[in-house]
Structure 1
């Protein structure tokens, strides 16, 4: 953020001076001076870089801003990750330890498999699926708390379609489905067999899983959304009403998370218990596939990295584990990063820059001749309410009482 703002301020100053020769080398080396900027400004501004740019094999895109900053940040993070004595290091090293991951195999999933396979009714099984949400395993509905659209002083629970392995368009647009169908079927069969299914069992499970996902993506919830969107952006319901209306879909989630209200109802009456058990097991296996043995991770990458994202080389284990550490314990990593790069002088420079921008904006409002008195006053009032936070959160989550086991990566993720 800071680097982008500084670059913009330099460009603004240069534009005022009327000469591109005052730009820093980091900018001028990108320019193709053989191009008239009035004919093709992008080619002029970025042509030299574009002509020589090479997309790294483990990336699907490259640019002069965010990719560059990301690469520079990775150099700092590499030093942080190399310290094995920190809590962060324990988590990171548990991800790196492929020997332990291979020896454990499916052991981290055994309790979940047992719970899924011992469920004797659809409701019991969906309650198990709701409990797995605590470990980041998507269920059949995604319940989120956020400010009420009609009253921002209150929070409300919102129900959304649960995330599926593929983007929704793959399921609902035939031409897009054709591009991934064969690879997705191979992926499902591969991870199921790695999880202990026989080849015949995996082959039988593939159409069951795909048919359910296609229905969930394209039919079941979309009809509900269309019917209720006619009268309101959303339908407000109490917990009890939600449970009465959708006991299997939403009520099971409420039950799993301590809301002790539910009745019997057949929302998923067209899905047999055996098929639903297969679907829940696949949800568990797929969501865990990048965090189990290297064979699971490669199967996941072959579809999502290679086929869908166009990567040509599977990212290194180190790169993968850095990403997962940042995603899982980001505040903790962020604090180490700030300690390394965010000095008091840097913080003051950034803060002064933002304050100067706000002052400039305020001056613009005050001197704009097209604003009437009331609008000008309201604009200044609104500007005065803008707050800025630079560097990192004021109260980061640093997990002071949490401990990690360097030999139990998946359990570390689930804590």
Structure 2
């Protein structure tokens, strides 16, 4: 939703993330604890994608050197909070592509948006202009071969949890076992089935034991619960196609009346969101 026109959808662009927390690339002591595992992760993804072990090993330094420089490009937590004051910076596709050709421009073109001057009045809203200025300088200073290597690795990294079992294992070995300390990892199918079972059993227990329910309501609730069909995946819509189209107010990620201990903290906005239902007297 556009902050400048709340009745229409808008396309936003903002600071990207690194595969590891920014602090790993900035703190030498912290980097030393992860370097060997991260190098192994880089080589694993690239070899699984078809590169030779020698070629994959050769570009480890290229990727790591760039990412350490990129960590210095990212806005700090303080800068992100300061950027909230001037975070609404709409530019037409053409103007954004001209000002930031190696970041916003390439992304717009890759997703099928027309960046020709005068071809479209639609706009992309940029957060953190300081970040885009810094990123443009960094990208321009690197050869195309380096950028291609980075793009290949990032694409593999982002999609590795959804690719073949070997990619999933490489991702889990670094992020689950090394960083989070997870010893064993269940299969995705078992994990999803377990989660659904736990939720269903929890609902059933609450309905069966709640002393404030009358018998008719309890029986009706249990009957409806038995008819629920669990869905552990959902369709992925390309939301950017809704850019500057009217907002469909019937589409909610979570309904206001949903009873859930839901809260969300957004570091970049230094803001915590809670649903209004949680503030009502009965809760």
Give the TM-score normalised by the residue count of structure 2. 0.56
- Residues of 2 paired with 1:303 and 1:168: CA distance? 16
Contact kept in structure 2, 1:172 and 1:214, CA below 8 Å: yes
Q: Among 309, 313, 328, which residue is 2:180 paired with?
A: 309
Alpha-carbon distance, 1:172 to partner:
2.6
Alpha-carbon distance, 1:202 to partner:
0.9
Alpha-carbon distance, 1:254 to partner:
1.6
The 1:241/1:207 distance shift into structure 2, 3 A limit, reads same
Q: Among 28, 38, 47, which residue is 1:174 paired with?
A: 28
Helix, strand or coil: the match of 2:75?
helix
Q: Among 62, 67, 73, which residue is 1:213 paired with?
A: 67
Contact kept in structure 2, 1:251 and 1:262, CA below 8 Å: no
Structure with greater Cα Rg? 1
- Residues of 2 paired with 1:234 and 1:275: CA distance? 30
Establish whether residue 288 from structure 1 lines up as the match of residue 154 from structure 2: no
Aligned to 1:255: 109
Contact kept in structure 2, 1:244 and 1:262, CA below 8 Å: no
- Residues of 2 paired with 1:198 and 1:273: CA distance? 21
- Residues of 2 paired with 1:249 and 1:205: CA distance? 22
CA RMSD of aligned residues (A): 4.0
Helix, strand or coil: the match of 1:238?
strand
Aligned to 2:257: 389
Which structure has more relative contact order (CA 8 Å, sep 6+)? It is: 2
Alpha-carbon distance, 1:178 to partner:
2.2
- Residues of 1 paired with 2:100 and 2:81: CA distance? 15
Aligned to 1:246: 100
- Residues of 2 paired with 1:321 and 1:291: CA distance? 14
- Residues of 2 paired with 1:301 and 1:231: CA distance? 34
Aligned to 2:271: none
Aligned to 2:89: 236
Helix, strand or coil: the match of 1:271?
coil
Alpha-carbon distance, 1:389 to partner:
2.0
Aligned to 1:359: none
Establish whether residue 187 from structure 1 lines up as the match of residue 41 from structure 2: yes
Helix, strand or coil: the match of 1:166?
coil
Structure 2 runs not aligned, ≥5 long: 118-135, 208-215, 222-254, 261-283
Helix, strand or coil: the match of 2:86?
coil
- Residues of 2 paired with 1:231 and 1:160: CA distance? 12
Q: Counterparts of 1:66-85 in structure 2 under 5 Å?
A: none
Structure 1 runs not aligned, ≥5 long: 1-145, 327-332, 350-386, 393-415
Where is the helix percentage greater, Structure 1 or Structure 2? 1
1:190-219 C-alpha deviation (Å, 9 max, x unpaired) = 221222211221111111111222222322
Contact kept in structure 1, 2:46 and 2:153, CA below 8 Å: yes
The 1:298/1:160 distance shift into structure 2, 3 A limit, reads same
1:368-410 C-alpha deviation (Å, 9 max, x unpaired) = xxxxxxxxxxxxxxxxxxx832379xxxxxxxxxxxxxxxxxx
Alpha-carbon distance, 1:147 to partner:
4.0
Alpha-carbon distance, 1:231 to partner:
9.9
The 1:170/1:231 distance shift into structure 2, 3 A limit, reads closer
Aligned to 2:13: 159
